[in-house]
Amino acid sequence: MPATSVDAERTYSDGRFTAREVSRTTHSKTVCGYFEPGQFIPVHAPDSDVTVVVQSGSGVVRDGERSHEVEPGSVVTVPAGEDRGVKAGDERLEAVLVTAPPPSDAEHDPVRRGIQNDEFEP
């Protein structure tokens, strides 16, 4: 199994959030997510569970119809098929996201469209 750290994977981009994949199996995928203020993963609903563990910063994690304000130490799990999204607040946000099973490429089409259209909630 790979071993790394949030610090070692840290990469930011001005254009969109950065997701650094650190592990993938047939059962799960783990990424470190780095968000500049206001950057986001658009709301989408793949057929996989996701757990978001906030390492630093603050923001919002969408969980179905609810929005959870998050800060360092927050843990939010969203079940498969529910709307989910992550958005940084007024500061950088760093989080570890674990999805099980890994979503398909097609399930990420809404994410690509949301980023292209600059829409958190399509």
Note whether residue 67 is domain-resident: yes
DSSP 71-105: -TT-EEEE-TTS-EEEEE-SS-EEEEEEEESPPPT
Note whether residue 2 is domain-resident: no
Decide: 43 and 117 in contact? Cβ < 8 Å. Answer: no
pLDDT at 122: 76
Instruction: Report pTM.
Output: 0.93
Check which CATH number belongs to the domain holding 67 and give it: 2.60.120.10
Which structure tokens are listed for 58?
């603050």
**Of residues 15 and 48, more confidently modeled:** 48
CA distance 8 to 11: 9
Note whether residue 20 is domain-resident: yes
Q: Which domain holds residue 83?
A: 15-108
- Residue 1 above 70 pLDDT? no
Note whether residue 121 is domain-resident: no
* pLDDT (tens digit per residue) in 18-65: 999 999 999 999 999 999 999 999 999 999 999 999 999 999 999 999
Note whether residue 115 is domain-resident: no
> How many domains does the chain contain in total?
1
Note whether residue 1 is domain-resident: no
Note whether residue 104 is domain-resident: yes
Q: Which of 53, 120, 66 is nearest to 93 (CA)?
A: 53
Decide: 92 and 56 in contact? Cβ < 8 Å. Answer: yes
Q: Which residues pair with 67 in a beta bridge?
A: 62
CA distance 106 to 30: 18
Note whether residue 6 is domain-resident: no
CB atoms within 10 A of CB 37: 14
